[in-house]
């Protein structure tokens, strides 16, 4: 058994439907203020293919993981969770 400490990251990967796109942002854990756009994919692509949706999510997660590793030397752990109610805009 390891004796590692885990700290929740002060940011998250936020995926948002915006018009015809599904956008991935690096955002604060509690807000979309000053979020940074990481990537986009046509919404029609991910709606037609669960595999493409998962590939996009995996790619965006890898981009964030690489940045965390490069900056801190640590491999982050990710947990998927739904968007906060205040950000769902009827897409929950």
Average pLDDT over residues 25-53: 94
Show the beta-strand stretches assigned E in the chain: 11-18, 21-28, 36-42
pLDDT in tens, 45-88: 999 999 999 999 999 999 999 988 888 888 887 777 776 666 65
What is the Cα–Cα distance from 23 to 31, expressed in whole angstroms? 16
Confidence of residue 40 (pLDDT cuts 50, 70, 90): very high
């Amino acid at each position: 058994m390891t004796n590692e400490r885990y700290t929740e990251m002060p940011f998250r990967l936020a995926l948002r439907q915006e018009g015809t796109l599904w956008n991935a942002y690096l955002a604060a854990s509690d807000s979309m203020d000053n979020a940074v756009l990481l990537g986009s994919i046509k919404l029609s692509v991910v709606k037609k293919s669960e595999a493409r949706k998962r590939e996009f999510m995996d790619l965006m997660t890898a981009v964030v993981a690489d940045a965390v590793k490069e900056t801190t030397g640590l491999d982050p752990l990710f947990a998927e969770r739904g968007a906060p109610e205040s950000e769902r805009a009827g897409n929950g």
